[in-house]
Amino acid sequence: MPPRKTSATGQAVSQVVDEIKQLIVSGDLLPGQQIRQEQMAAALGVSRLPVREALRQLAADGLVVHEQHVGFAVARLSRAEFDQVYLMRRLLETEVIRSLPLPAAEQLDQIAALAEEVERAAAEVDLPRMRTLNSRFHFAIFALSELNLVVGEIRRIWTWALPYHAVYLHDEAGRARILAEHRAMVAALGAGDVDRLVELMDTHRAGSAAQMSLMLAPGMAR
């Protein structure tokens, strides 16, 4: 009986982690916004225990923060921290891209299919789904590299900026730019042109950073 209870509790915590992440991705929870455990438990139909444990996990990942006598809140980056996140992304992602082998036809087809799924989500203006698929698209490319530890670190760094990712998807022109760049990335990957892929990723990343930096106005900064 005890192991079954532990398993059930773990599943509940995992579900709550996913639900809170989705609220952050969708923009329903914004950087700096407090997360009330009682309200979150009621909204998700669970007790406070899995909510508290989920928030602790998210704090360990850097997605939320905890302040004594205040509680949990969505993590908020300062301008300097935001710039460092994108500096680390540029350095590590460039190394991973330069290490990529020429993908097999099946691998390229899978990545191209993800790009098409991102386009369908964009056409339906399903922004949370687009955000999730966008991440899968990029990490499907990174996963071709043997630098698995570096890719793991990139994933962790992406998490820090996750609360800001929703903003750039609300811009129609920004969505169109993202989709065009994805198509160009697939073409460069298929041609084995890593220099072109690095160039495209730099442009892609810079465009997203410029959009997300709008959320770092003085009123939003720490």
Q: State residue 67 phi and psi, 5-degree precision.
A: -115, 130
192-217 pLDDT per residue, tens? 999 999 999 999 988 776 666 555 55
pLDDT score, position 3: 47
Do 127 and 165 contact (CB within 8 A), yes or no? no
Radius of gyration of the chain (CA): 19
Alpha carbon distance 158, 153 (integer Å): 9
Residues 6 or more apart whose CB falls under 8 angstroms from that of 31 comprise: 74, 75, 76, 77, 163, 164, 215, 220
Round the average pLDDT of the chain to a whole number and report it: 87
Mean pLDDT within 96-125: 96
Whether residue 160 is predicted with pLDDT greater than 60 in this model: the reply is yes
**Confidence at 4, pLDDT banded by 50, 70, 90:** very low
pLDDT score, position 28: 83
What global pTM score does this model have?
Answer: 0.80
Lowest mean pLDDT among 88-92, 113-117, 159-163: 159-163
The three-state DSSP-derived secondary structure of 98-110 is HCCCCCCHHHHHH
Whether residue 222 is predicted with pLDDT greater than 70 in this model: the reply is no
Alpha carbon distance 127, 112 (integer Å): 19
CA distances from 155 to 13, 61, 161, 207 (A): 21, 10, 11, 19
Residues 6 or more apart whose CB falls under 8 angstroms from that of 49 comprise: 9
Q: Which residue has the higher pLDDT, 23 or 119?
A: 119
pLDDT score, position 141: 98
Alpha carbon distance 131, 167 (integer Å): 10
Alpha helices of the chain — where are they, by DSSP H?
Answer: 2-26, 37-44, 48-61, 79-98, 105-123, 127-142, 148-160, 165-169, 172-191, 194-212
138-150 pLDDT per residue, tens? 999 999 999 999 9
45-64 pLDDT per residue, tens? 999 999 999 999 999 988 89
DSSP notation for 79-97: HHHHHHHHHHHHHHHHHHH
**Confidence at 7, pLDDT banded by 50, 70, 90:** low
Cross-strand bridge partners of residue 77: none
pLDDT score, position 162: 80
